[in-house]
Amino acid sequence: MAKQTKEVAVIDFEKFSVAQLPELQGKKEEIKGIIEANPVVEIVDNSTYELAKKSRTAVKTLRTSLEKEQRDVKKKIKEHVLDVVDAEYDTLVLGVKNQEIIRQEPITAWEDKKELERQEKARLEQERIDRIKTTISEFQEKWNRIIEESDFESISKNLRSYNNDTVNFDVESLQEFEVLYADACSQIERHFELRTKTLTEQEQIRLDNLLIQEKNAENARIQEWQRTWNANIDTLAFDDIKDVKSVLVKSKLADLKHYSNEYEEIYDSTEKRLNSQIELISKAENQRIAQEKFQKEKAEFEAKQLEAKYQERKKFLVDEDYWRIYLLAECAEEEDVAKSKLLDYSGEAFEDFKLAVLKAKESKEEIKTDEIAKGQEKEWKKGITEKNYIGDYHEEDVHEVATAKPHEFANYKDEVKYIEQVETKSEVTWESIYDDEFKNSKEYKDSPSNFLLGAFFNFLKDNYNAPTKKQ
């Protein structure tokens, strides 16, 4: 008996309505009835408050029951529809997928082969591109390096070499990348332009600095020359003026490149100043010679006047027979001393002196003076005879001194007294100096340097004469 196949009704999900679910049959009317049965209550007192709470609770219960029913419906649909559908379709998909894999494997193998071919072709193409770009890059790097290493002297030469290099470059080998080469050449040429500008500016600065240094050196030469000749002119002596003009000419600076005109002005000014100085020194020398001559003549004239004055005053003393007495009593027989003393008299003082001499010759004074002088002469002659000094004087001198004025005779007494003192004074020796000044001195007696001091005085004794003590 043939097995009967049960037909399964096909569900059209596109025409499915939720109203078909038994759980939702009459659900809206039920909700409407409950809401209407539990209206919103205005609360005015406790009773209305309780009614409002009751109404709220009824509506809340309606909501929670609907949410629970929703979860239950969804669970049933998932368990009885969705899960079943998923399981069935998973089985169907798996079977088809196996068949797909069987058919995909040769396709994948072919595609892999083609991909390898594509990749190899791409690799070769990239190598070609990289090679061309490397050629361009190396060309650019080479010339950038040459440019950076160039100086002012080599930059033009290197630019010519670059132009030759571009002419000989195989541009066709670059294929579609000629534009990159053209761009690289533009950058190189711009680099050449900027580098040339920089080097030109630097060279100009160097030349300017050299020029400044050269000008400064030349200016320093001129200033040093001017300073030297200013000093020479300022210190110029009469003995130097003979050859100084020729020396100036020989010292003139040559090979001036920058300040020749300025130097010519300085040279002319210096030459004029030198000539003025020579003229001034020559005039001063002539004035000096004239002054020396004047001073000499003046001195000679004054000397003649003084000599005439002296001879006049001496003549008076000679005429009055007083010269010999004056020379002995006042001047120790030194005519130079007599001359000095006579000239020291002012005109008025010498007139007084003349009066004194003349008065000394008056008879009355002569008697008195003679009496006094005789006693003094006797006393003085006795003293100098005892001391053996008479041999230094003539008897007539002694008489003249004795008959002189009392104050003049006193001078002779003082002279004899001084001679006596000198004669009676013990001799000065190094031993006496040491004994008087050091040996008996408490300050040096106990001094540790006393021995050295004694040795020093022995040295002086052996090698030097003893000094004369100050009076």
**427 to each of 81, 456, 461, 462, 469, how far by Cα in Å?**
168, 21, 14, 17, 11
pLDDT bracket for residue 399 (50, 70, 90): very low
Q: Is 94 helix (H, G, I), strand (E, B) or coil?
A: helix
What pLDDT score was predicted for residue 386? 43
Task: List pLDDT tens digits, range 152-180.
Answer: 999 999 999 999 999 999 888 888 999 99
Task: List pLDDT tens digits, range 26-78.
Answer: 888 989 999 999 999 999 999 999 999 999 999 999 999 999 999 998 998 89
**Dist. CA 310–CA 339, nearest whole Å:** 6
Burial class (CB in 10 A: 0-12, 13-18, 19+), 287: exposed
Q: Is 435 helix (H, G, I), strand (E, B) or coil?
A: helix
The residue among 418, 408, 407 whose CA lies nearest residue 383 is 418
Give the mean pLDDT of 353-370: 67
Backbone angles phi, psi at 10, to 5 degrees: -85, 125
**Dist. CA 91–CA 84, nearest whole Å:** 11
Domain map (residue ranges) of the chain: 16-129, 150-218, 429-471
In whole angstroms, what separates CA 369 from the centre of its chain?
Answer: 93
305-313 contact pairs (CB < 8 A, 24+): 306/343, 309/343, 310/339, 310/342, 310/343, 313/342, 313/343, 313/345, 313/350
Give the mean pLDDT of 400-406: 47
With beta carbons less than 8 A apart as the criterion, state whether 262 and 302 touch.
no
In whole angstroms, what separates CA 409 from the centre of its chain?
Answer: 84
Q: Indicate if the pLDDT at residue 411 is higher than 80.
A: no
Task: List pLDDT tens digits, range 215-254.
Answer: 999 999 999 999 999 999 999 888 888 889 899 999 999 8
Torsion over CA: 410, 411, 412, 417 (sign)? positive
With beta carbons less than 8 A apart as the criterion, state whether 365 and 371 touch.
no
With beta carbons less than 8 A apart as the criterion, state whether 174 and 180 touch.
yes
Radius of gyration (Cα) for the chain, nearest Å? 75
| Structure-block tokens of residue 55 | 């109404």
Give the mean pLDDT of 386-411: 45
- pTM as predicted: 0.39
**Dist. CA 159–CA 295, nearest whole Å:** 90
